[in-house]
Amino acid sequence: MSVRAERKLQSQQAILDQVLKLNYAGQCFNSISLRQLAQAVGMVPSAFYRYFPNKEQLAIELVDQTSLIIKSHLTQFLEHIQHKNSEILETHLSLFCGQVQQKAAHWHFFIVERWGGGSFLKEKIRQEVIFLIDDLAQLLNKKYAGQWLDQQQPLAFAELCIELHFAWIIKWLHSHETQQKDQLLQCFIQQLQYIHFP
């Protein structure tokens, strides 16, 4: 890769990271201006268009990048979700929490903009959630091959798991007290233990 191409990728990533930072601080994607982004990363506003043709393309790139991270985290965790032993489940959940914390702004962006973003962004995230559910249903179908009552059951379990994770993660991310985080963790473990896989 040429130096120029590498610098372009670094500048693109700096813009993406800045959007995530502003979003995590409470600013919705639609309210973030190109001028604000350009100033934050040290470029003139017109330079933005060298990296993204428009704000919609910026949104697509953010959702695609975030979706890959979320899929990776959820896939790793769901491979261990069948454990009913709370200590084993807590160990896996602690590892998962560490991953979520490292990419907190990505998770926040995806979950918050899913319901509160503009129509274009909400639609893009809705499509990605469908892909996530399908991918996780395939993983569950493979893991418990021949044990499902019908073909729709893995899809239903995948959707339940994803919605449960999203609801829990947004609360957990914005809990600032250790005791509250621990209580949410224990509550989540109990909820996961109520999900009966084949």
Comparing CA positions, the residue from 53, 32, 59, 33 lying closest to residue 120 is: 59
* Domain residue limits at 99: 55-194
Q: Is the pLDDT of residue 108 over 90?
A: yes
| Residue 99 and residue 45 in one domain | no
**Single-letter code of the amino acid located at 117:** G
Residues 124 and 72 occupy one common structural domain:
yes
Q: Are residues 118 and 20 in the same domain?
A: no
- 139 and 125 in a common domain: yes
pLDDT reported for residue 123: 95
Instruction: Please say if the pLDDT value at position 189 is more than 80.
Output: no
CA angle 145, 147, 152 (to 5 degrees): 85
Q: Average pLDDT of 164-186? A: 86
Query: Residues 91, 27: one domain?
Result: no
- The closest alpha carbon to 166, from 108, 98, 81, belongs to 108
CATH code of the domain in which 34 resides: 1.10.10.60
Pair of tokens at residue 61: 């790139």
Whether residue 96 is found in the same domain as residue 163: yes
Tell whether the model's pLDDT for residue 106 goes beyond 80: yes
The number of domains in the chain is: 2
Q: How far apart are the first and last CA of the chain?
A: 48
Q: Which ranges of 55-151 does DSSP label H, i.e. alpha helix?
A: 55-78, 86-102, 104-116, 119-143
**Do 45 and 64 belong together in one domain?**
no
Confidence of residue 20 (pLDDT cuts 50, 70, 90): very high
Please report the pLDDT score of residue 4 as a whole number: 80
User: How many angstroms separate the CA atoms of 192 and 96, rounded?
Assistant: 14
Which has the closest alpha carbon to 170: 112, 86, 115?
A: 112
185 and 136 assigned to the same domain: yes
Same domain, 129 and 67: yes
135: domain CATH number? 1.10.357.10
Q: What is the pTM of this model?
A: 0.88
Q: Are 60 and 19 in contact (CB under 8 A)?
A: no
The number of CA neighbours under 13 Å toward the Cβ of 127 is: 8
Domain boundary among 32, 52, 72: 52
Q: Same domain, yes or no, for 3 and 97?
A: no
Q: Is the predicted pLDDT of residue 166 greater than 90, yes or no?
A: yes
pLDDT tier for residue 53 given thresholds of 50, 70 and 90? very high
- Quick one: 16 and 80 in the same domain? no
Give residue 196's pLDDT. Answer: 57
Average pLDDT, the chain: 86
Q: Are residues 42 and 105 both part of a single domain?
A: no
